[in-house]
Structure 1
Amino acid sequence: MSYVFKPAPIASVPVLGKPERFPVHRIYCVGRNYEDHAKEMGFTGREPPFFFLKPANSLIVVNAGETGAMPYPSLTTNLHHEIELVVAIGTGGKNIKAADAHKHIYGYAVGLDMTRRDLQNEMKKQGRPWCIGKAFDHSAPIGPITPADQAGDIAKAEISLQVNGQVRQRSQVSKLIWNIAETIEHLSAAWELQPGDLIYTGTPEGVGAVVKGDTLLGAVTGLESLQIVIQ
């Protein structure tokens, strides 16, 4: 088969302890999935889950023990960090029941949903889609994937983010409004999940702005940490 130009390489993420890489299909993100974060954004209650997508080539893939680099994006003066647990789907399916969700999970990783907050807020005011605030280039840093059977009890893990050594975000995965299994159930009712899908499961309270030169260190208990520098 020939193409009019050379296709882009497949986006992929390293897997701890394995030579094979995890090829990425789609990136789904869950909005406002921790109660205290929902409150700091002006919302309350356990609303039905909602989702947005990022392109697979928005990933910044950081290997174990390394520090990644994220260029400060254009058009914004208010770039926000959002630390998230990422679920990697290994077996696809549609209308997956929460009780069966664990059968579809390949592993977990630490991720950042970087957000051009000023652009997102402006689009919200105008009632327009806010892809420009979320789905921009380099907006999805991610660390290596830990296979599910090596990740421990992820539902009880602590999730945190430090900026320049100071804690900005800290919570527990158990505080997700919609837990991992429920998220997969809702998501697979709207889209047929495929092997290679990544689910950014939501961020806890404490989101805030970062500037050039800042170092971000994200962690989830039992997983390889994620460190990036804003350039």
Structure 2
Amino acid sequence: MELANIFCVGRNYVNHAKELHNAIPQEPMIFTKPTHAAVWMNGGAIALPGAQGAIHYEGELVLHIGKDYAPGLGADDLVDQMALGIDFTLRDVQDLLKKKGYPWLAAKGFLNSAALTEFIPFPGLSACTEKYFSLKQNGKECQRGRIGAMIFPPDQLLVFCAEHYGLKAGDILFTGTPAGVGPVAAGDRFDLLWDDASLGTCTIELN
């Protein structure tokens, strides 16, 4: 699948913002990743930079935009597929950038920082609200989230992205991570599940 823009939402779950001692945002916090950051969780190894301090995993629900945005359209109109993903973050680098007031690109946009499972048909917001997504690290669940716990729901996120940055077919949106983020180590195996079904796995290599 060829991707266009990769939009990501920061601090979209209250408990995640609190665990990192961040303020609860009053409007969506959007950042982007280069398309070169995308990598598929197809059971193989994913290489991450091992010499820049701590790397954290952030499991997320990912929406794929199926047609160009027009005013009045919501998630059920725009989204045709969904996946799960991991927003890998160089946490020490991010903390330093935040202190200096610099952009997050170096901490969020490095190669292989946007890991993605396979995409599956989007069943609609109502059906998704009844299900959970989860991330397992070495067989143990470390994160669990659902749409209903988001600070800013998908409809609001899509409108915000469209009005501020534009939104078109091929764009994807990482919708934010729930509480439970933590460090990555060489050899870790990650498994992303939608309800009880695994959508993708990977093993971590540190370069």
Aligned to 1:47: 26
Alpha-carbon contact 1:157-1:174 (below 8 Å) kept: no
Per the TM alignment, residue 159 of structure 1 is displaced from its structure 2 partner at its CA by 1.7
Q: Any runs of at least 4 consecutive aligned residues in structure 1 with deviations exceeding 4 A, and if so which?
A: none
Higher strand fraction: Structure 1 or Structure 2? 2
- Structure 2 residue 99 is matched with structure 1 residue 120: no
The within-5 A match list for 1:133-148 is 133-148=107-122
Alpha-carbon contact 2:136-2:143 (below 8 Å) kept: yes
CA RMSD of aligned residues (A): 1.9
- Structure 2 residue 66 is matched with structure 1 residue 93: no
Aligned-pair identity in percent equals: 31
Aligned to 2:145: 171
Change (3 A) 1:196 1:88: same
> Which of these residues, 109, 132, 136, is aligned with residue 83 of structure 2?
109
Q: Deviations over 1:15-70 (max 9, x none)?
A: xxxxxxxx2111000010011001112134452111110111211123xxx41311
Task: Give the Cα separation in 2 of the matches to 1:132 and 1:45.
Answer: 23
5+ residue gaps, structure 2: none
Alpha-carbon contact 2:7-2:174 (below 8 Å) kept: yes
Alpha-carbon contact 1:85-1:220 (below 8 Å) kept: no
Alpha-carbon contact 1:161-1:216 (below 8 Å) kept: yes
Change (3 A) 1:187 1:152: same
Aligned length: 205
Alpha-carbon contact 1:107-1:151 (below 8 Å) kept: no
Q: Deviations over 1:59-90 (max 9, x none)?
A: 1123xxx4131113154220100000000001
- Structure 2 residue 104 is matched with structure 1 residue 130: yes
**TM-score with structure 1 setting the length:** 0.83
Change (3 A) 1:179 1:112: same
- Structure 2 residue 194 is matched with structure 1 residue 194: no
Per the TM alignment, residue 171 of structure 1 is displaced from its structure 2 partner at its CA by 2.6
Letter in 1 for 2:138: N
Task: Give the Cα separation in 1 of the matches to 2:165 and 2:36.
Answer: 20
Alpha-carbon contact 1:26-1:196 (below 8 Å) kept: yes
Change (3 A) 1:136 1:106: same
3-state SS of 2:84 partner: strand
> Which of these residues, 12, 15, 31, is aligned with residue 10 of structure 2?
31
3-state SS of 2:62 partner: strand
**TM-score with structure 2 setting the length:** 0.92
Letter in 1 for 2:172: L
Aligned to 1:17: none
